[in-house]
A and B are shown apart, each in its own frame.
Chain A
């Protein structure tokens, strides 16, 4: 058992904290939200220089050779500042797909480009009708000549509007809902037949609807084994759950700190509102939720390298439930204890609230994962 970061992790954490402290104030973030892309190319290059974009990428591919714990610490820092850049989409989701499923040529081409900041990815798996069912894929990839033709549509693709390449799931066999018959493809976002419509999610991060009509792909676009893509999709989603769990921890820390500060400074009835024991207890309950959530984010992170797929999935589902519930409790109470000011766009707490809300509705919500666990109660 060891819960302490290594010396390297501490140094990395410090430099990230310094960067975000100077570049990611609430006001600076707000001006980024107002730009057409909704995030900063300049900071993206900064992240590349600091080695953050190559954090979980092997040294052989120009990365830092880090592991899930490094990503967790980084995502937690990102959560404290509500970082808007497409790190989750590119490095965590796209990068994990490439690392797990890419052949030597694909990895050699894509991973170094991610690490140096010249290539962005998006994970185009979810479809409108699928909600949280990972095997619900209608998009088809039909064999034609030596390659494939894609037909279908992907929905709420995180940062799908700015990605250079898309990791697209499609049926090469089987019926909708069948676990077998899904394959992954690496698709150029500018390829003929790919149409993207970008928009903001409620937390200001970007996403896109992507339609694929008659997108012709060479055989080399296939990412991983044909018809057996679902286990890779599952691992990518697990990596996404662990990373966003860490982000929620950072967001909860920020909300907890803001709320405590407000309890000490806001005066009503001639004294700080924090003098009311009712509110002291609420703040204590928020702390309990935050610490329980933190433990679950650690569980998700440490489970990512577990070989047994069922064990891994179970731990990650537990974490999704635990962090989802903690996040909802902490964010709802953070707004409540601020009163009217907590309801305003001009105040930071609502922005954290919405990030936590969006994350809860990604990769399977609390009810979905609780249901999965309920199926396994023995």
Chain B
């Protein structure tokens, strides 16, 4: 047993860090350092830079255009990218669609979609959830009826993140409404969002942003060649997608970066005439977070190592531990930075709009973004399988209760 990284792993970390430092556009870096989410063009620009380096498909095997990294290397890469902070790779393209096509896709699908997904020439979104099918995903009802060499899709998806930015959507649809088990009769379809009959409507979230959408399908004709895997076997594709690649699920690099930022700004903020960073209570709260992050870092390494040794195919139920604790820490670190901002974090104030209008900022330039970040991260324990559902998984798969 040895908790230290090997010299090769440390050298790899250094290589990634240096590359990001030398290639991440300054403006994107500065926005993200201040806590602003990446804009669409930021995500595209950065993913293309990584793709030119051969790193965008960071978890894809070499023969499909990935770097062929080990699970430990992938984890190091993700952590460095998050803590830089740099825009995250578009997970729909890279961690969801890519591995699914590599595992289940036809040669034609791989050739057509993988390079464009890596380069973000196509922006993908995930059409799984429906109004009646959230935690109980298998109750989905959006129907796809075979008509010659097309499926005709009717129904509604909801909570479709970034659908308004997207070119394509990978969807779960019901192709056999008569199947005995609900999990049977579901198929995995790739849908071009420019097809007639599709309407994307915005949902504004409590942070005031437009991230979520409803997507309505009315007689949308999808060529059968866009079916991934076998008809009516889409559930195993979805399970593979959701279980696959859990190394990034904790997004630990993000929590680390936020706690680091909180410490930085706590030097500027005062409490009783001294910098807040000197306050015992504040330091105890940071220390507690650092303890929890350290534990999660080691737990994550254990899961990743076991995954590497097992040949990297079977999803580990312990990845639910990573999801639960990882999202709790993301939420706690966003609360910490917001609390440092205090009253100055409460105004609705968009720095960019203000700058255009030549208006001075309210409070420090980072503060007004801290409340929306905190608000949006409340969803971290909801999406990707709610934390309650993760606990149910642990009960069933590990505890046997």
Chain A interface (Cβ < 8 Å from any Cβ of B): 126, 128-133, 136, 155-156, 177, 197, 199-202, 207, 209, 267-270, 273, 276, 278-279, 332, 335-336, 339-340, 342-346, 350-351, 353-354, 357-358, 361-362, 365, 367-368, 370-371, 374
Contacts and interface: CB of A to CB of B under 8 A. Distances in A.
B272 A207 contact: no
Contacts of A209: 362
Given A156-B346, A367-B339, A133 B362 contact: no
Nearest to B372: A202
Given A278-B391, A340-B129, A155 B344 contact: yes
Most chain A C-beta atoms within 10 Å of own C-beta, residue among B129, B342, B372? B342
Contacts, number: 141
Q: Top 5 A-B pairs ranked by shortest CB distance?
A: A350-B206, A268-B136, A345-B204, A156-B343, A269-B136
A344 B362 contact: no
Contact of B203 (A177, A346, A351): A346
B139 to A, nearest CB: 8
B136 A361 contact: no
Interface residues of B, number: 52
B273 interface: yes
Contacts of B238: none
B348 A133 contact: no
Nearest to B364: A128
B272 A340 contact: no
Contacts of B285: 367
B30 interface: no
B270 A133 contact: yes
B135 A332 contact: no
Nearest to B362: A209
B391 A199 contact: no
Contacts of A276: 388
B271 A133 contact: yes
Contact of B206 (A156, A197, A279, A354): A354
Interface stretch (B103-111, B293-301, B375-383): B375-383
Among B139, B285, B386, B388, the one with the most A-chain Cβ atoms within 10 Å of its Cβ is: B388
A268 B206 CA distance: 24
Nearest to A205: B346
Could you say which of A133, A156, A353 has the most chain B C-beta atoms within 10 Å of its C-beta?
A156
Contacts of B387: 336
Interface of B: 129, 132, 134-136, 139, 158-159, 203-206, 208, 212, 269-273, 276, 279-282, 285, 338-339, 342-349, 359, 362-363, 371-372, 374-375, 378-379, 381-383, 386-388, 391-392
Residue from A129, A131, A155, A332 whose CB has the most chain B CB atoms within 10 Å:
A131
A340 B132 CA distance: 12
B385 to A, nearest CB: 11
Nearest to A276: B388
A358 B372 CA distance: 12
A202 B136 contact: no
A371 B348 contact: no
B343 A339 contact: no
Contacts of A368: 271
Contact of A335 (B135, B212, B378): B378
B206 A344 contact: yes
Given A279-B388, A357-B346, 18 more contacts: A129-B270, A131-B271, A156-B343, A156-B346, A156-B363, A177-B273, A199-B347, A200-B347, A269-B135, A269-B136, A332-B378, A335-B378, A336-B387, A339-B134, A344-B212, A354-B375, A361-B342, A361-B345
A339 B389 CA distance: 11
Given A278-B391, A339-B134, A361-B342, A200 B348 contact: yes
B334 to A, nearest CB: 12
B367 to A, nearest CB: 10
B348 A199 contact: yes
Nearest to B281: A371
Contact of B205 (A128, A200, A344): A344
Contacts of A200: 347-348
A339 B212 CA distance: 13
Contacts of B270: 129-131, 133, 136
